[in-house]
A and B are shown apart, each in its own frame.
Chain A
Amino acid sequence: MYFYMCKNIIIEMRNAIIGIWNFYVDGFRNMTWGRTLWWLILLKVILLFLVLRAFFFKPTLADKSEEERIEYVGNQLSNNK
C-alpha cells in the first residue's frame, strides 16, 4: 500500500516536472518578437559577466582571507583618510 502511494506521488511529480518543462520549451519555441529580446538579454549577460566582471570588476578583497580582509579594511579605516 505504502509502496503504491509513493509510486503514485513520484509519477505525479514526474508528470508535473515534465509539464513545466514542456511549458517553457513550447513558450520559447513559439516566440516571435520575444526572441530578439532574449538575444539582447543573452548579449548583455555575456558582456556583464564574461567581459566586465571577469576583466574589469574583480572584487578588491577577493584574493584575501577573512582575517586579511579584517586587517586590510581595519588599516584603511584607522588611517585617518
Chain B
Amino acid sequence: MVETALVDWSRLQFALTAGYHWIFVPLTLGLAVIMAVMETIYVVKGDEFWKRAAKFWMKLFAINFAVGIATGIILEFQFGTNFSNYSWFVGDIFGAPLAIEGIFAFFMEATFFAVMFFGWQKVGKRFHLASTWFVALGAAISAVWILVANSWMQHPVGMEFNPDTVRHEMVDFSALVLNPVAISKFFHSWFSGWMTGAIFVIGVSCWYLLKKREQKFALSSIRIAAIVGIIGTLGVMFTGDSSAVHVSKYQPMKLAAAEGLENGGERAPFSIVPGIEIPGMLSVLATHDIDGYVPGINNILDGYTTPDGQTHLSAEQKMERGKIAIEAFSNYRELKDSNPEEAAIARKTLEENIEYFGYGYINSRNELVPPVPLVYWAFRVMVGLGSALLLLMFIVLWAERKKRLESMTWLQKAAILAIPMVYLAGQAGWIVAEVGRQPWVIEGLLPVKSAVSSVSVGAVQTTFFIFVAIFTLFLAIELRILFKAIKEGPKTEVE
C-alpha cells in the first residue's frame, strides 16, 4: 500500500510545477500574436512607429520566455522519478507527443527566434515578419503536442494494453492527435493565451497612460491588444462550450463536481453561486438540449441509465470489474510461460475488463469524487473573471475609440488590476481541468496513487521546497527585469 502522504506530496509537487509553468506559457502564446500583428502593420504601412512598438513588446516577450523556458522539463523529471509506474505504463503513447514537441520547439526556437531578435538589420522586412509569425506559430504548435498528451490522459484513445510489456501501446496515432478533447483543449488554451497577452498589453499600456507618458504608443497598443483579446475571449467561450460537451460525455464526474451537482437528471440546472440557479441551463451547456440528461455525483456512483437506454455501471460494479482485470493481469503474468492455455483465458478476461482496470485500485466509492468545493469555485472564478475581462476589453476599446481613455483613470487602474486577474482565471481553468479529474492520472485506467513510484516522502518533500525556493527566486528576477524594462519604456532601443 502506497502512503497517502507520498501520493499527496507527489501530486502537490506536480501541481506546483505545472501551475508555475502556466504563468509563462499563456503570455508567450498571446504576446507572440500581438507583436506579430504590430509588425505586420509596420510592414504593410511602412510606419517606423509600429516597428518600435513591436520591438518593445518583443523585449517583454523575451523576458517572459527566458524565465519560462525549460520549466516544463521539470515536469518530465517528475514523470521519471515520482511517477515511474505511470511513465512505464503509458510512456509509449504519452512520450511520443512530448518528444515531438521537444524536437520541434528546439528547431523552431533556434531558427526563427534568432532571426526575430538578431535579424532586424540583416534580413529583409518580409523575411523578418515571417520569422515573427513562425515564432507565434511555433509556440502554438508546441502547445498542440503538450495538449495532445494531456488530453490523452483525460480521454485515452488509440492504444491497446500489452500485458507482456505492461504498457499501453499506440495503435492509432491519428486517434491520438485528432482526439476531440485535444482539439477543443488546444484552442481553449491557445485563445486563453491571446486573452492573457491582450490583458497584459492593455494593463502595461494603461500604466503609461496613468503616468502620462508614451501616450500614442500606449493607445495604439491598447487598440490592437483589445481587438486580439476580444477575439481570443470569444474563442475561449466557443471552445469552452465544446469542452463542456466533451467533459459531460467522457468525464461526467468532473462536470458534476464543477457544478456541485449531487443529483442530476433531465433539465439540469446551472449553478451561478450556491442558491442561485438557471433551470435547464446545465443540460443546454452539456448536451446542447434543454431536456438533455446530466448525471450528478450520486447518479454516477449509484449507476444510471440515460433516456436513450445507455446503462452506466455503479462505482461498486466498476470496482469489481477493475479487480477482475487486475487479477486476470496477475494470473496472465504467472501463467504465460507455464500454462499458455490458462494464460490465454486470463488475457481474454483482462481484455474484457480493461476499460475498468483503474477502478480495481479504488478501495471506496468516495475516492472517485474529486474535491468538489475547489473544483466548483475554480470554475466560477474562471468563468466570472473571463466574462469580467471581456467586458473590460470592450469598455477599453470603446473608450480608446471615443478618445476618452486618457481621462478615465479609474479604467486605467482597473486595467492594471486585470493583469493578475487574467493569470488567476488561467490557473483556475487548470484547477478545474486537473483537480476535476482526480483521482485519475489516466481516466479510468490508472489512479494517481497507483502511478507514483516507491520513493521516500522525505525526498519528494525536499524537492518540493527546493522548487518553491527556485520558482520564487526566478519569478522575482523576472518581475524585476520586466518592471525595469517597462519603466524604461519603448523609447529604449531594443534588439
Whether A81 lies near B449 (C-beta < 8 A) is yes
B59 at the A/B interface (Cβ < 8 Å)? yes
- Which residues of A, 9-53, contact B by the 8 Å Cβ criterion? 23-24, 26-28, 30-34, 36-38, 40-41, 44-45, 47-48, 52-53
A69 at the A/B interface (Cβ < 8 Å)? yes
Chain B residues whose C-beta falls within 8 Å of the C-beta of A61 in the assembled complex: 80, 84, 87-88
Whether B326 lies near A40 (C-beta < 8 A) is no
CB of A28 to closest CB in B, whole Å: 8
Whether A33 lies near B1 (C-beta < 8 A) is no
Whether B67 lies near A40 (C-beta < 8 A) is yes
Among residues of B, the one whose C-beta sits closest to the C-beta of A70 is: B166
Whether A77 lies near B450 (C-beta < 8 A) is yes
Q: How many inter-chain residue pairs (CB < 8 Å) link A and B?
A: 110
Whether B85 lies near A73 (C-beta < 8 A) is yes
Main secondary structure of the interface of A (DSSP, over half): helix
Chain B 380-399 interface mask (CB, 8 Å, partner A; 1/0):
00000000000000000000
| Bound: A58/B463 CA distance, A | 12
| Bound: A70/B333 CA distance, A | 11
Chain A residues whose C-beta falls within 8 Å of the C-beta of B360 in the assembled complex: 80
| Bound: A40/B70 CA distance, A | 12
| Contact among A32, A45, A69, A77 for B70, CB-based, below 8 A | A45
| Bound: A44/B73 CA distance, A | 11
A1 at the A/B interface (Cβ < 8 Å)? no
CB of B118 to closest CB in A, whole Å: 3
| Bound: A59/B87 CA distance, A | 10
Among residues of A, the one whose C-beta sits closest to the C-beta of B74 is: A48
A47-B85 contact given A34-B62, A34-B117, A41-B69, CB 8 Å threshold: no
Among residues of A, the one whose C-beta sits closest to the C-beta of B474 is: A44
A4 at the A/B interface (Cβ < 8 Å)? no
A76 at the A/B interface (Cβ < 8 Å)? yes
| Contact among A30, A73, A80 for B89, CB-based, below 8 A | A73
Whether A56 lies near B462 (C-beta < 8 A) is yes
| Bound: A76/B83 CA distance, A | 12
Chain B 251-293 interface mask (CB, 8 Å, partner A; 1/0):
0000000000000000000000000000000000000000000
Whether A77 lies near B114 (C-beta < 8 A) is no
CB of A15 to closest CB in B, whole Å: 15
| Bound: A47/B470 CA distance, A | 9
Whether A56 lies near B466 (C-beta < 8 A) is yes
Whether A60 lies near B329 (C-beta < 8 A) is no
| Contact among B2, B70, B122 for A48, CB-based, below 8 A | B70
Chain B residues whose C-beta falls within 8 Å of the C-beta of A34 in the assembled complex: 62, 117, 495
| Contact among A26, A36, A45, A80 for B361, CB-based, below 8 A | A80
Whether B80 lies near A57 (C-beta < 8 A) is yes
Chain A 55-81 interface mask (CB, 8 Å, partner B; 1/0):
011111110000001100110111011
| Bound: A44/B80 CA distance, A | 20
Whether B70 lies near A73 (C-beta < 8 A) is no
Which of B20-28, B200-208, B236-244, B452-460 interfaces with chain A? B452-460
Chain A residues whose C-beta falls within 8 Å of the C-beta of B69 in the assembled complex: 41, 44
Among residues of B, the one whose C-beta sits closest to the C-beta of A31 is: B495
Whether B84 lies near A52 (C-beta < 8 A) is no
B174 at the A/B interface (Cβ < 8 Å)? no
| Contact among A27, A69, A78 for B117, CB-based, below 8 A | A27
| Bound: A40/B495 CA distance, A | 17
B494 at the A/B interface (Cβ < 8 Å)? yes
Whether A40 lies near B66 (C-beta < 8 A) is yes
Among residues of B, the one whose C-beta sits closest to the C-beta of A57 is: B77
CB of B161 to closest CB in A, whole Å: 11
Whether A77 lies near B81 (C-beta < 8 A) is no
Chain B residues whose C-beta falls within 8 Å of the C-beta of A59 in the assembled complex: 80-81, 84, 87
- Beyond the given A23-B118, A37-B66, A40-B67, could you list 6 further A-B residue pairs with CB under 8 A, ordered by the A residue number? A24-B118, A48-B74, A59-B81, A70-B166, A73-B88, A77-B89
Q: Which residues of A pack against B, CB within 8 Å?
A: 23-24, 26-28, 30-34, 36-38, 40-41, 44-45, 47-48, 52-53, 56-62, 69-70, 73-74, 76-78, 80-81
10 A-B pairs with CB atoms under 8 Å apart are A33-B59, A37-B62, A52-B466, A57-B463, A61-B80, A62-B80, A70-B164, A73-B84, A77-B166, A77-B326
